[in-house]
């Protein structure tokens, strides 16, 4: 392959900057990272050949500052710029500024981006190109009253969303006039802070849809090819949670029709580089154009998995003027892939979490079945300034079922300490019977968790697994400690040919069970829960977090479970199973007897305090001094 560029600058941060650097290194291209004061020690800065500070933590003064980024280009002599996604990736003014200084934008041209990156303009173009579109208002919404008038004309429910950008930011569903007014205010504010553009559009909200998108790749010689679809229906607040490729809902005829419409739309505006046409698809496979993202998508790795293409490499080659080295007939589907977006957030309250990653171990698979796209390492800081994405965890398998199993195993083995994370939700969804059946829609989370997600609900089997492992943990720790104290072995090793029995009370969520653990002279452990016997085997080392255990009942039926050991508690252990943290009590008979005398901790009266549920900045105050504030 001919040479493309000697040096490129990545106008982004975090995992996507690391992702671009990885491909650039493979292609023999030197890289320049940009960073804010908050990101001085970030992984993408360490991985790049050069790095330039572009300002303070606030995005408007650093990653969104075109003059600062242009300065970094001039300083380093970078020939081209990859924008990643978000920030300036769909800002045509940025493309224009790069043109002015002779730097190549690794993405579409300014005209195509301006036309298709704008949701309002792209919808008008799509209608002219005879692409199926959703009914709506194609002009700019001027104020909240205007939004209400439009919504009434279209008919509720409506979607009010930012004209620029994506990622679920600046999007709200309104079911009445009051919600439409609120949606206008919140969406325009979010759009301005996220994309520097507060324009909004209003369109009909299609109920019970599936969110399915077509990946495009085109060159500057007029060739545009569509790749197999991605399904992005598992969403919360319009933010994608889990994606998969291909979709269980799309047949070959629909895939072809959607792909050809997407290609026709791209050719209509002279589009090249990577881009994505997003569609809403109803239960009858009728599809409607939603928007075009004129950039690399967050979920591009799953398309790479099933096509064996490196989309970042293709973008770089297209930007260097090279023709695509493949045609539409060369594109085949290889297996199935999933992406779980691992975030630092409370999955029950859906609020971001900040802090330092005190322990961080990414899962690994065999035969390229697990992929982690991340921009952090152990010790990294999750701050208030940027999106709390930790990693895009992807798995692949020959079939959908095998790809799901690989994802379950990967989530079970993902160790994250120091921040709250959403693995409990991801793990619950990926193993949900309805999800496994493929009968999903964008309403999946709202329908399956109407009261909100509350963590894994213990079944008889998972409760037994949890309590048996908790008893085993206690026995192993106690045996190790007694061996050490008696001089029977070095630290971490048990004395040989020793046997011992532990009588315990183990409990979770207030429900206690009698347990007996016996260690035989052969080192094997047996545990009984309320008189029901099991043999339990595990090669768990006490200093490690992940416990792989096999529980076998008296009838010889065996089941494997993966549990994470998180911490000791005063009377037990904190363990993680199926992604959810459980506080398991483990008490000796004496502790059980004395525990009834322990007084409950008094609850702190918070009625006269104002507590923020998440870190952030106060942008408005809705009360004034002297005003009465009542509960509710």
Residues that are catalytic: 295
Determine contact, residues 8/82, Cβ cutoff 8 Å: yes
* HSE toward the beta carbon, residue 89, CA cutoff 13 A: 25
Determine contact, residues 73/94, Cβ cutoff 8 Å: no
Cβ neighbors of 96 (< 8 A, separation 6 or more) are: 110
Task: Give the residue among 186, 201, 202, 208 at the shortest CA–CA distance from 154.
Answer: 202
Residues 547, 539: Cα–Cα separation, whole Å: 8
Task: Give the residue among 565, 535, 564 at the shortest CA–CA distance from 552.
Answer: 535
Structure tokens at 87: 């920030």
Kindly state the helix (H) or strand (E) to which residue 586 belongs, with its residue range. Answer: strand 580-587
Inter-CA distances, 452 with 61, 508, 571, Å: 37, 21, 30
For 567, counting Cβ atoms within 10 Å of its Cβ (0-12 exposed, 13-18 middle, 19+ buried), the class is exposed
Task: Write down the H helix ranges in 101-176.
Answer: 110-116, 119-128, 144-154
- The verdict on whether omega for the bond into residue 246 sits within 30 degrees of 0, i.e. cis, is yes
DSSP string for 524-559: -EEEEETTEEEEEEE---TT-SEEEEEEEETT--EE
Looking at residue 140, the DSSP 8-state letter turns out to be -
Kindly state the helix (H) or strand (E) to which residue 565 belongs, with its residue range. Answer: strand 558-569
Structure tokens at 380: 């990294």
Give residue 410's Cα distance to chain centre.
14
Quote the Cα angle for 240-296-95, to 5°. 125
């Amino acid at each position: 392959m001919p040479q493309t560029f000697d040096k490129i600058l990545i106008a982004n941060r975090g995992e996507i900057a690391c992702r671009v650097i990885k491909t650039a290194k493979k292609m023999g291209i030197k890289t320049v990272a940009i960073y804010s004061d908050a990101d001085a020690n970030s992984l993408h800065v360490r991985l790049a050949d050069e790095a330039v500070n572009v300002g303070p933590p606030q995005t408007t003064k650093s990653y969104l500052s075109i003059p600062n980024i242009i300065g970094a280009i001039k300083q380093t002599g970078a020939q081209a710029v990859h924008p990643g996604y978000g920030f300036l990736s769909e800002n045509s003014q940025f493309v224009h500024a790069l043109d002015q200084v002779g730097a190549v934008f690794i993405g579409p041209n300014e005209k195509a981006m301006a036309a298709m990156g704008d949701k309002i303009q792209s919808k008008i173009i799509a209608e002219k190109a005879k692409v199926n579109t959703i009914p709506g208002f194609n002009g700019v919404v001027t104020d909240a009253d205007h939004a209400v008038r439009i919504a009434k004309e279209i008919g509720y429910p409506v979607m009010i969303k930012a004209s620029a950008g994506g990622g679920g930011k600046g999007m709200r569903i309104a079911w009445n006039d009051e919600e439409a007014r609120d949606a206008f205010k919140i969406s325009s504010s979010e759009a301005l802070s996220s994309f520097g553009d507060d324009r909004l559009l209003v369109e009909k909200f299609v109920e019970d849809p599936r969110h399915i998108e077509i990946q495009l790749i085109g060159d500057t010689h007029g060739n545009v090819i569509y790749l197999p679809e991605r399904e992005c229906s598992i969403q919360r607040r319009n933010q994608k949670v889990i994606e998969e490729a291909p979709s269980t809902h799309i047949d070959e005829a629909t895939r072809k029709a959607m792909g050809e419409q997407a290609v026709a739309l791209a050719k209509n505006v002279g589009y090249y580089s990577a881009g994505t046409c997003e569609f809403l698809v109803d239960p009858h496979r009728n599809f409607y154009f939603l928007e075009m993202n004129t950039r690399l998508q967050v979920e591009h790795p799953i398309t790479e998995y099933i096509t064996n293409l490196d989309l970042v490499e293709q973008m770089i080659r297209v930007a260097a003027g090279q023709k695509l080295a493949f045609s539409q007939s060369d594109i085949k589907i290889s297996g199935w892939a999933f992406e779980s977006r691992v975030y630092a957030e409370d999955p029950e309250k859906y609020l971001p979490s900040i802090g330092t990653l005190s322990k961080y171990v990414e899962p690994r698979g065999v035969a390229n079945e697990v992929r982690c796209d991340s921009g952090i390492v152990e010790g990294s800081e999750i701050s208030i300034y940027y999106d709390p994405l930790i990693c895009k965890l992807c798995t692949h398998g020959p079939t959908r079922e095998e790809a799901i199993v690989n994802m379950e195993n990967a989530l079970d083995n993902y160790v994250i300490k120091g921040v709250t994370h959403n693995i409990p939700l991801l793990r619950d969804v990926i193993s949900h019977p309805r999800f496994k059946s493929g009968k999903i829609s964008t309403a999946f989370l709202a329908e399956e968790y109407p009261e909100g997600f509350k963590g894994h609900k213990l079944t008889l089997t998972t409760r037994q697994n949890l309590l048996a492992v908790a008893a085993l943990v206690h026995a192993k720790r106690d045996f190790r400690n007694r061996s050490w104290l008696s001089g029977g072995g070095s630290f971490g090793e048990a004395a040989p040919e020793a046997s011992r029995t532990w009588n315990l009370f183990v409990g979770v969520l207030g429900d206690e069970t009698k347990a007996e653990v016996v260690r035989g002279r052969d080192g094997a452990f047996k545990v009984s829960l309320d008189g029901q016997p099991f043999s339990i085997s595990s090669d768990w080392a006490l200093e490690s977090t992940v416990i792989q255990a096999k529980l076998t009942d008296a009838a010889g039926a065996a089941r494997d479970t993966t549990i994470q050991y998180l911490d000791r508690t005063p009377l037990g252990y904190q363990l993680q199973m199926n992604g959810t943290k459980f506080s398991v009590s483990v008490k000796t008979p004496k502790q059980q007897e004395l525990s009834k005398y322990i007084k409950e901790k008094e609850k702190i009266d918070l009625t006269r305090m104002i507590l923020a549920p998440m870190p952030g900045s106060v942008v408005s105050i809705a009360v004034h001094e002297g005003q009465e504030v009542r509960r509710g």
